[in-house]
Chains A and B, each alone.
Chain A
Amino acid sequence: MTRMLALFPLLLLSGCSDKHYWLFDPKGPIASAELHYMILDVLVMLVVIIPVTALTIWVLWRYRAAAQARHEPGWAHSNVLEFVVWGVPLVIVAILGYYSYVGIHAVNPYGPEVLAKKSVVETTRQGIAPLEVDVISTDWQWLFVYPKLHIASANELVVPTHVPVHFRLTSTTVTNNFFIPQLVGQIYAMPGMRTKQAMIADHTGEYHGLAATLSGPGFSWMDFKVKALNEQQFGQWVAGVKGAKAQLTYAAFDKFAQPTVNTSGKSVYFANVQPGLFKHVIQEVKAGKVYPTPYAFTENMQAPEFTERTN
């Protein structure tokens, strides 16, 4: 059984190409650090897992009844072994505990030490201020507001490469979870509250953003695109969005935030975002604003009532 356990992953892995293993293919320093600690943890654990598994199989084989091996029915205590059985896990836990402590500070969403590392700072564009992005999750879309640029983009996050991106996150309704597997780990976006996250994208390209916590019936369609562009392309994109027709006032946001299932994966761009939208959303939620889910909203997704509320 154990032999099969060991072989199965290899069989399954061989059939697919590497690019789909997002966790093994990081594109930024945070995700790289997270993968680093995963490999470290697994290696330390294997130091004990492999011998124990091997020993178990050996014991099962060696002391099967038919083998008529040495039988000591009364042997039930040994001070040396007691010391070993408590000592080995203790040492492993001590090592992993140390790495866990270092690791959490390295990727701490509120100020990752990784981003302050010399090697990372060197590749970051010199003298550039971090890009600020306010993330607001609704039922069931993501809105990315660029407060300094007065633009916003729904269901599509566009960032420049080699620039630190600082996120502030909140939600209009229920708890959501902001996750870009190849760039940065998960952080909750919670209604009436503000959390933070930070990252840098090292390579241009398109990545997948996921809503990682169940937030109701429209949740499966809450993926968002992440585009990392070079400096020039990012400038062009910003200029393009600034020319968009849609405006985002508080009233327009209220309409945007009504329960909507993004079944077609549509991105929407807004120019002229009313200043202070992020703070406004938090204050409204704290004061009792809700966006109720209509009863049995997605019980029948082919009904006209559903089509009206989808993108």
Chain B
Amino acid sequence: MLVNLQGPWDPIFGRLGLILQYQYNNPVIFFAFELSLVGGAIALFWLTCAGKWRTLWSDWLTTVDHKKIGVMYIIVGLVMLFRGFFDAVMIRTQQAMAVGASSPGFMGAAHGYLPPYHLDQVFTAHGMIMILLAVTPILVGIMNIVVPLQIGARDMAYPYLNALGLWLTVSAAALVMISLFVGDFSHAGWVGLIPLTELPYSPGVGVDYWIWSIQIGSVGTTLGAVNLIATIIKMRAPGMTWGRVPVFSWTTLATNIIALTSFPVLGVTLALLTFDRYLGTHFFTASLGGDLMMYTNLFWIWGHPEVYFVVLPAFGMISEIVPTFSQKTLFGYVTMVVASMAIAAVSWSVWLHHFFTMGAGPNVNAYFSIATMLVGIPTGVKVFNWLFTMYRGRLRFDTPMLWAIGTIFLLISGGMTGMMLAVPAINYIVHNSVFVIAHFHNMFLLVAYAAFAGVTFWFPKVFGFKLDERLGKRFFWSFTLGSIMVFIPMYILGFMGMTRRLDYISHPAWYPLILAELVGVGFYAVSVFFFLAQVVVSIRNRHDLRVGADAWGTSRSLEWGTHSPVPFYNFAVTPMVHARDEWAWRRENKLDSLKPDHYVDIHMPKNTMVPLILGMLSLVLGFALIWRIWWLAGLSFLAIIVAIVVRSFEKDTGYIIPAAEVAAMEQDYLDRAREVESAGEKVGGGAVGGGVPAASRAPWNKLKGD
């Protein structure tokens, strides 16, 4: 061993002996463990009884279909969102219980029920999960589903790579979940505060869990970025010039350029930290020539672009949803594209605003302050443009539109506080206070709102039926009440001087507002219930909620120009693009028939189990490295190389669907569409069909067309 480890090490079991030596007997964890055991058992039982193993394997686990991969990304993201929410509940309840010297302590804590080591792990996991394993996968999932459809492609440029990205993300999420039960997680904040993450101050395996799960996940995200960039550049349908690419695809391009250029920085930074922890080097230590602020710089050179990585697709989705429900063209398309690219470009030169208090000279701080404010210009432009899109529109407030409006208000308030934080003279008194926490939750909520908008908006495209509107609106309002009740008190607590990441509250004056935040968490819990109810009820009523191709009746871009649910080959024939808002153009010119003149053979990629295997092997590799089980790490690494090499000799990776078969499948879709139409639903973009409207809850039925 090149470094001094606290605790045992064994050549066969590595550091696993730590589990026996130290007690991890917290009832909270035990409860979570029981829950996952029971949940897993029920899932296995259902799979076996319903005979779904084969479907699971061939339709999902080995698929390279971009829509199914996108759906799995979103499911992973939602599961991790729930885990992150549970962490938030624990943080909020701990802070509400541990106020003042006389507050009682339980389960090994001096105050409240979470001792510092445990709470530190909870908020570290909360931050890392919410950013990298909840919001990011949901956004990547939506990009995966929507972008190929929007640009008229059959699939992604690299379907195999796409599946690999998914399974690496899954294995990163799995590592974080394993850390809940086997060992512990990092206690050094999601940013990995240096030198707290160095071995002397984090002697356990927690930081190693944090490092390797981020490493594995970020390889997945980088591969996804390569894929999306290549897809948008090379796979656009004929006629889709750059001036006709939908804004969401533009923001996807901008955001993935950010990902492709910034995630490798994170990888290298964490690798250097890994050398410090595993080999005893001194890149980021305070001693022997190490430079700890170098870590902070490098981390935020990735970390700040990452903020725009999640915000830009959110802006893109709003730019699709607002025109649809305003029944109007997006105002200032060129401006929107330029603004997105400008945000991506500026995102690179602002990272130092995360640590103005480091003690850099005033001119350095001034430079980064002004660079940060520059981001406000294109962002402000976007708000104005959405406003002018709604101006002289005909606004309908379906659930996606509600989420989109919420996003706009969150952007206005978050922009306001962002402009405060960008000024170093103000930053000095609110940095690392809960004011900052409220600000960036404001911004991440904006992304979450946009993500919920996107999921609700494109759900009918993928599954062929809408989500229940009534429960969706309840979900929206309870979530919004939660956001108001949690984060407005948090902003105010910032003015009272409350700092972040506290395990114990020494100033009882903060107590009333901390209790108010707890009420907000209650509203969030209610919103989780409404979300689950929405999904369950919608699936149960899926027959009534069926929609045709143009699910919302006023959709504008190309993805609405194929059937709902989308066939696995996306478009029967590759569409020819004529306009910026292609589907709106076709609807207006009565060219919205989904039946082509004739069908042609379709070339599709074959399923493969290699990405799944690589994902599972990287999970084993990560686990072995965390626990320093060298033989297992070597073996799994070798297996990964072998699997990649073997796969690279596979030449027969595609197959042909003959035109006749396409015609038969298309006929089924067209029959379904006719059935929906005769039930009163809109199919394509045409007028409302005859018959009695089956779904009176579909508000657009009551509206006149343009």
Residue of B with least CB distance to A172: B286
In this assembly, does A116 line the interface, its C-beta being within 8 Å of a C-beta of chain B?
no
Is B196 a contact of A210 with CB atoms below 8 Å? no
Chain A residues positioned under 8 Å from B484 (CB to CB): 1, 4-5, 8
Is A295 a contact of B507 with CB atoms below 8 Å? no
Q: Which of A63, A285, A287 has the most CB of B within 10 A?
A: A63
Is B390 a contact of A100 with CB atoms below 8 Å? no
Give Cα distance in the complex from A265 to B194, angstroms.
26
Give Cα distance in the complex from A67 to B182, angstroms.
59
Chain B residues positioned under 8 Å from A301 (CB to CB): 105, 108-110, 115-116
Give Cα distance in the complex from A218 to B117, angstroms.
9
- Which one of A38-46, A119-127, A238-246 contacts B? A38-46
Give Cα distance in the complex from A26 to B270, angstroms.
41
Q: Please provide the chain B residues from 395 to 411 with a CB less than 8 Å away from any CB of chain A in the complex.
A: 395-397, 405-406, 408-409
Known: A16-B509, A177-B357, A190-B286. A299 touches B376 (CB 8 A): no
Is B387 a contact of A192 with CB atoms below 8 Å? no
Partner pick for B362 among A8, A104, A192, CB 8 A cutoff: A104
- Which one of B40-48, B147-155, B367-375, B634-642 contacts A? B367-375
Give Cα distance in the complex from A163 to B189, angstroms.
38
Q: Please provide the chain A residues from 122 to 166 with a CB less than 8 Å away from any CB of chain B in the complex.
A: 139
Residue of A with least CB distance to B5: A295
Is A45 a contact of B512 with CB atoms below 8 Å? no
- Which one of B419-427, B534-542, B560-568, B608-616 contacts A? B419-427
In this assembly, does A106 line the interface, its C-beta being within 8 Å of a C-beta of chain B?
yes
Chain B residues positioned under 8 Å from A278 (CB to CB): none
In this assembly, does B597 line the interface, its C-beta being within 8 Å of a C-beta of chain A?
no
Known: A5-B488, A101-B366, A302-B105. A295 touches B203 (CB 8 A): yes
Residue of A with least CB distance to B481: A4
Chain B residues positioned under 8 Å from A220 (CB to CB): 116, 502-506
Is B420 a contact of A93 with CB atoms below 8 Å? no
In this assembly, does A251 line the interface, its C-beta being within 8 Å of a C-beta of chain B?
no
Is B390 a contact of A63 with CB atoms below 8 Å? yes
Is A175 a contact of B292 with CB atoms below 8 Å? yes
Is B409 a contact of A85 with CB atoms below 8 Å? no
Smallest distance from the beta carbon of A66 to chain B beta carbons, Å? 9
Is B116 a contact of A63 with CB atoms below 8 Å? no
Smallest distance from the beta carbon of B186 to chain A beta carbons, Å? 11
Chain A residues positioned under 8 Å from B361 (CB to CB): 108, 110
Q: Please provide the chain A residues from 73 to 132 with a CB less than 8 Å away from any CB of chain B in the complex.
A: 73-78, 81-82, 84-86, 88-90, 92-93, 96-97, 99-101, 103-110
Chain B residues positioned under 8 Å from A233 (CB to CB): none
Is B706 a contact of A73 with CB atoms below 8 Å? yes
In this assembly, does B347 line the interface, its C-beta being within 8 Å of a C-beta of chain A?
no
In this assembly, does B432 line the interface, its C-beta being within 8 Å of a C-beta of chain A?
yes
In this assembly, does A276 line the interface, its C-beta being within 8 Å of a C-beta of chain B?
no
Residue of B with least CB distance to A286: B287
Known: A56-B408, A73-B327, A104-B366. A286 touches B286 (CB 8 A): yes
Is A186 a contact of B423 with CB atoms below 8 Å? no
Give Cα distance in the complex from A209 to B311, angstroms.
36
Is A71 a contact of B373 with CB atoms below 8 Å? no
Q: Please provide the chain A residues from 10 to 52 with a CB less than 8 Å away from any CB of chain B in the complex.
A: 12-13, 15-16, 20-24, 31, 33-35, 37-38, 41-42, 45, 48-49, 52
Is B329 a contact of A214 with CB atoms below 8 Å? no
Partner pick for A298 among B116, B202, B391, CB 8 A cutoff: B116
Known: A100-B423, A174-B196, A301-B105. A77 touches B357 (CB 8 A): no
In this assembly, does B335 line the interface, its C-beta being within 8 Å of a C-beta of chain A?
yes
Q: Please provide the chain B residues from 488 to 534 with a CB less than 8 Å away from any CB of chain A in the complex.
A: 488-489, 491-492, 494-497, 499-507, 509-510, 512-513, 516
In this assembly, does A213 line the interface, its C-beta being within 8 Å of a C-beta of chain B?
yes
Is A214 a contact of B426 with CB atoms below 8 Å? no
Give Cα distance in the complex from A53 to B373, angstroms.
20
Chain A residues positioned under 8 Å from B390 (CB to CB): 59-60, 63
Is A175 a contact of B380 with CB atoms below 8 Å? no
Residue of B with least CB distance to A211: B499
Residue of B with least CB distance to A71: B394
In this assembly, does A9 line the interface, its C-beta being within 8 Å of a C-beta of chain B?
yes
Chain B residues positioned under 8 Å from A217 (CB to CB): 115-117, 120, 187, 503
Is A298 a contact of B329 with CB atoms below 8 Å? no
Is A93 a contact of B499 with CB atoms below 8 Å? no
Smallest distance from the beta carbon of A214 to chain B beta carbons, Å? 5
Partner pick for A45 among B357, B387, B416, B425, CB 8 A cutoff: B416
Chain A residues positioned under 8 Å from B376 (CB to CB): 89, 92-93
Is A63 a contact of B703 with CB atoms below 8 Å? no
Residue of A with least CB distance to B408: A56
Is B423 a contact of A41 with CB atoms below 8 Å? yes
Chain B residues positioned under 8 Å from A42 (CB to CB): 416, 420
Is A214 a contact of B204 with CB atoms below 8 Å? no
Is A71 a contact of B200 with CB atoms below 8 Å? no
Chain A residues positioned under 8 Å from B243 (CB to CB): none
Is A15 a contact of B512 with CB atoms below 8 Å? yes
In this assembly, does B355 line the interface, its C-beta being within 8 Å of a C-beta of chain A?
yes
Give Cα distance in the complex from A55 to B377, angstroms.
19
In this assembly, does A235 line the interface, its C-beta being within 8 Å of a C-beta of chain B?
no
Chain A residues positioned under 8 Å from B387 (CB to CB): 52, 55-56, 59
Give Cα distance in the complex from A229 to B118, angstroms.
40
Known: A20-B509, A42-B420, A299-B115. A107 touches B383 (CB 8 A): no
Q: Please provide the chain B residues from 462 to 483 with a CB less than 8 Å away from any CB of chain A in the complex.
A: 480
Known: A89-B381, A216-B201, A301-B109. A185 touches B428 (CB 8 A): yes
Partner pick for A186 among B328, B370, B396, B432, CB 8 A cutoff: B432
Smallest distance from the beta carbon of A258 to chain B beta carbons, Å? 13
Q: Which of B204, B287, B423, B480 has the most CB of A within 10 A?
A: B423
Is B22 a contact of A296 with CB atoms below 8 Å? yes
Known: A181-B497, A208-B497, A214-B193. A103 touches B432 (CB 8 A): no
Give Cα distance in the complex from A109 to B357, angstroms.
9
24 contacts between A and B (CB under 8 A): A12-B512, A20-B507, A22-B497, A34-B425, A38-B426, A42-B416, A49-B412, A60-B395, A65-B396, A76-B330, A81-B388, A86-B335, A104-B424, A173-B200, A177-B431, A187-B359, A188-B358, A212-B499, A214-B196, A216-B196, A218-B116, A292-B203, A293-B201, A301-B109
Known pairs A76-B333, A175-B196. 8 more at Cβ < 8 A? A21-B495, A23-B429, A45-B419, A65-B394, A81-B384, A93-B370, A214-B500, A301-B116
